[in-house]
Amino acid sequence: MQPPKSISDDTDQESRFTWRPKGILPPKRRSRAPRQKRGRTAPVLRPLKGPPPPLQVVIPPSPTCQASASLEAEIDILVNHPTFIASQENLKAIENARQRIEAMIKEVVPEVAEVVLFGSGSSTVMSSNSDLDFCLIFRYKHDSISVNEYIKEARVPVLRCHAMLPIWTREQTGVRNHKTKVSFDIVASNYLGVQNSRLIRTYTECDERVRLFLLLVKRWAKGWGIGDASQRTLSSYGWNLICLSYLQACTPPIVPNLQSEAYIAASNPDLIVDLDIEGGECRFSRDAQPWKSRAPCLLPNPDDPLQTEDPRPVNTTSLAQLFVNFMEFLSNFYTNEFAFSIKHGALCTTASIKHLLFPKKILPPFVIVDPLEIGRNVALPCTLEEKVLSAIKQTFAKILDGSHLSSILANLS
């Protein structure tokens, strides 16, 4: 049977042919934009499908609790103590120890290309009792790929050692030719851990208070027994991320977002880290100079010709007041409604970034987004959240009572 001829041209295109085999529906035609006689039509920009951007939270600049003069003096004495922070001589001694360890390991395992320092020793957020972490980087060769595949996914230390190293000087300890017993862990192919340490170190270079603030909070967490992941509390790395996220959310902020595209564009191209690491998004800047020099491209409206002055005021809060404000914030707002994420440059609501974490169905009391590893919540191993919250509230209560710094930084009861 031959189909009938087409109907007149003024009818609809969908009903142009009236004959159709049984059971076959008419094809759906896509609506096309009218063609122009000259040139091509401009592409239509459609919004990307996906979750909305994270909702950021800003901390108000007016705290209700002021640091007392005695607390200011005690914290100044503490941070100026020789053993509170590692000096340049200490870092040189650590580097010499790294070279010795690297030479010893290469003699036993020729597949090792280098031994890299990471953790608190690399980020310079280390005290007198901090241990050292070393990472083995292997050569990618056919004869050694089996060794690399065997241990590259290990999260626990491959080797845990002790050594007597001349790390702390005589001025710091008062003993001539003093050697300290230092414990160090050796892991393999922890590339994200190495880059995380470099990211935190860059944040400490943005402002001189950052390093002291991280060390002060670290000593407080250790004193209250809530700074060890093996004891089902938060790790030192987790506390560092909480502190940096708080410093980003302050008004005005103390540190920038080193992972934002605006800051990366203002950085030295030689100091931009852009690596393809499995399971991570490793792209950030290791250049602190744009933040120190207050680069114009980091202004809220960099293209506005009428914006001649920098509208961002400088945060001049003292270290003691920062610690007090930090404890006040944690005691009032530290719940699972907020997530700490230096990747997004501020505090975020947990509901807005829940889709970024794994597993998505579990909402722990603490949410700390790993800046480089995709989907990792750093606070997930913490199961003693009540102990952490109790320590925070007791610390802030002691600050309000005017207690001494030794009682604030440790649970003496």
pLDDT digits (tens, 9 = 90+) for 13-68: 444 444 444 444 444 444 444 554 444 444 443 333 444 555 566 666 656 788 88
Tokens 């944040």 sit at which residue?
203
In the chain, % of residues over pLDDT 90: 24
In this predicted structure, the answer to whether residue 398 has a pLDDT above a threshold of 90 is: yes
Band of residue 9 on the pLDDT scale cut at 50, 70, 90: very low
Tokens representing 7?
């109907």
* Sequence-distant (≥ 6) Cβ neighbours of residue 93 within 8 angstroms: 165, 166, 167
pLDDT digits (tens, 9 = 90+) for 63-74: 678 888 899 999
In this predicted structure, the answer to whether residue 399 has a pLDDT above a threshold of 70 is: yes
HSE, side-chain direction, 13 A CA sphere, residue 218: 24
What are phi and psi for residue 234, nearest 5 degrees?
Answer: -80, 145
| Residue 294 confidence (pLDDT) | 76
CA 327 – CA 159 distance, rounded (Å): 37
User: 107 lies in a domain?
Assistant: yes
Q: Domains in the chain: how many in total?
A: 1
Nearest 5°: the CA angle 187, 192, 194 is 65
| Residue 179 confidence (pLDDT) | 62
User: 179 lies in a domain?
Assistant: yes
Q: Which among 225, 246, 208, 204 is positioned nearest to 120, based on CA atoms?
A: 204
User: 18 lies in a domain?
Assistant: no
User: 8 lies in a domain?
Assistant: no
User: 259 lies in a domain?
Assistant: yes
What are phi and psi for residue 285, nearest 5 degrees?
Answer: -110, 140
Lowest mean pLDDT among 9-23, 72-86, 109-123, 336-350: 9-23
Q: Compute and round to an integer the Cα radius of gyration of the chain.
A: 28
Q: Which among 365, 346, 85, 367 is positioned nearest to 210, based on CA atoms?
A: 85
pLDDT digits (tens, 9 = 90+) for 106-135: 888 887 888 888 888 777 777 656 778 888
CA distances from 190 to 187, 278, 329 (A): 7, 11, 33
User: 45 lies in a domain?
Assistant: no
CA 198 – CA 259 distance, rounded (Å): 13
User: 303 lies in a domain?
Assistant: no
Band of residue 211 on the pLDDT scale cut at 50, 70, 90: very high
User: 163 lies in a domain?
Assistant: yes
In this predicted structure, the answer to whether residue 385 has a pLDDT above a threshold of 60 is: yes
CA 358 – CA 356 distance, rounded (Å): 7
CATH number for the domain including 273? 1.10.1410.10
| Residue 270 confidence (pLDDT) | 93
Give all strands (DSSP E) within 228-333, no chain letters: 272-275, 282-285
Is 57 strand, coil or helix?
strand
> What's the whole-number mean pLDDT along residues 354-362?
63
In this predicted structure, the answer to whether residue 267 has a pLDDT above a threshold of 80 is: yes
Give all strands (DSSP E) within 119-240, no chain letters: 132-138, 159-165, 180-188
> What's the domain range around 381?
56-298+312-408
Do the beta carbons of residue 256 and residue 298 sit within 8 Å? yes
CA 121 – CA 155 distance, rounded (Å): 18
